[in-house]
Amino acid sequence: MIGDILKYLREKEYVSGEVLAQKLGISRVAVWKQIQKLKDIEYKIISDQNLGYCLISRPDLLIPQEVQRGLFTNYIGKKIYYFPELKSTNIIAKEKALHRAEGIDEGTIIIAEKQSAGKGRLGREWFSPAGGIWFSIILYPQLSPSYISRITLMTAVAVVKAIKVCTQSEPQIKWPNDILINEKKVCGVLSEMSAELDIINWVVVGIGINVNIDFRDYPEDIQANTISLKEISGKKVLRVKLLQSFLREFEKYYDKLKRKEFLSVLEEWKLYSHTLGKKIRVDMGERIITGEAVNINEEGALVLKKEDGKLVKIISGTILK
Ligand code: BTN
């Protein structure tokens, strides 16, 4: 209903309560109640006894009505579940992905303004206060489970493209999918999936972007390695615009992946790489390998050249400082 009334309210122009009531097929008192609800979620609306209601400004909240207004994607973000606060969007997305048959379609998104137990890679916590963009996308790709690394890499490219457009900054990707600006992390991606031997049941891609967060609000242990887009730009970044831009890019690259055109995505990934050509140490869980990052192959694996000249393919790991 709130979405409906927003369709008819005009920015910087009055619309009478009577017209709104007519268009929506409700009473004028019901219109007034809807307006109060909008005001409660930070829409600035002024009213005039004779002229009606006039929308002055919209909140920078990631509510579905705002995100979907002018989104122009075919299926990514067509359905959005929005929460002011959640433990973790990935947890809810995984629960929902199990109910595909009940209308949880590919491209459904879970968004939270804050997460109380945000999850990072390797069981780490992900600090998720208000001001960031914390969300998860549900996908059902008809691909083999080995494609998960490619989905993760392609997500990183979509994030870089969206950040570049919205902030004029030059983000880089640390393999596999940390987005860095000035050597500090601005975004992380956590992909989780359920799969059979040869086919994926579902994938949940969780993305966390530090947007309008102040340096002093970060926990001390991550302050040195973390940065927000607001700090980079010196001003607040419009989160709705950034998210929309990302969703459009994501759909474009995901479509390419489904058409098995990963190599062109990989070429772009390499353009933004922070990793290739560097001597690095990679924590693979059971051991640490040192070498030069010489390539990312067509499966999304990092190829490391060890001191003895031997090449090692790494599907999953963390690059150490
Ligand atoms: C990383 O460790 O780099 C990955 C961080 C991923 C964080 C995002 S925020 C939205 C989604 N929900 C979560 O709980 N985690 C991911």
pLDDT tens figures, 50-88? 999 999 998 889 999 899 999 999 999 999 999 999 999
Please provide residue 20's backbone torsions phi and psi, each rounded to the nearest 5 degrees.
Answer: -60, -45
Distance in Å, CA 120 to ligand 1 centroid = 5
Cβ(126) – ligand 1 distance below 6 Å: yes
Across the chain, how many H-helices and E-strands are there? Answer: 10, 15
4 CA → ligand 1 middle, Å: 32
- How far apart CA 204 and CA 156 sit, in angstroms, is 14
Q: What integer pLDDT is reported at residue 1 of this predicted model?
A: 61
Whose structure tokens read 């959005």? Answer: 80
> At 212, which amino acid appears?
N
pLDDT interval class at 2 (50, 70, 90): low
pLDDT tens readout for residues 163-216: 999 998 999 999 988 999 999 999 999 999 999 989 999 999 999 999 999 988
Instruction: List the beta strands (DSSP E) in 92-249.
Output: 109-115, 133-139, 172-174, 178-181, 184-195, 200-209
Q: For ligand 1, say whether the CB of 120 is within 6 Å of any of its atoms.
A: yes
Q: Which residue among 85, 86, 90 has the greatest number of ligand 1 atoms within 8 angstroms of its CB, and so is best to mutate?
A: 90
pLDDT at residue 3 greater than cutoff 80 = no
Pocket of ligand 1, candidates 62, 94, 116, 128: which has the most ligand atoms within 8 Å of its Cβ, to mutate?
128
**Is residue 251 within 8 Å of 76, Cβ to Cβ?**
yes
Decide whether any atom of ligand 1 lies within 6 Å of the 134 Cβ. yes
Binding site membership of 109 for ligand 1 (Cβ less than 6 Å): no
pTM of the model: 0.92
Distance from Cα 317 to the centre of ligand 1, integer Å: 16
d(CA 201, CA 182): 38
The dihedral through the CA atoms of 88, 91, 92, 93 has a sign that is positive
C-alpha–C-alpha distance, residues 278 and 287, integer Å: 19
Residues in CB range of 103: below 8 A, 6 or more apart: 79
Ligand 1: residue whose CA is nearest its atom 7: 208
Q: Which atom of ligand 1 is nearest to the CA of 112?
A: 10
Rounded to an integer, the average pLDDT of 128-148 is: 96
Average of per-residue pLDDT across 75-104? 94
Tokens, residue 151? 């989905």
Beta carbon of 90 within 6 Å of any ligand 1 atom: yes
Distance 83 CA to ligand 1 centre (A): 16
- Pocket probe for ligand 1: among 134, 222, 225, the residue whose CB has the most ligand atoms within 8 Å is 134
Question: What is the average pLDDT score of the chain?
Answer: 94
Nearest CA to ligand 1 atom 15: 119
Judge whether residue 321 has pLDDT over 80: no
Q: DSSP class of residue 117?
A: S
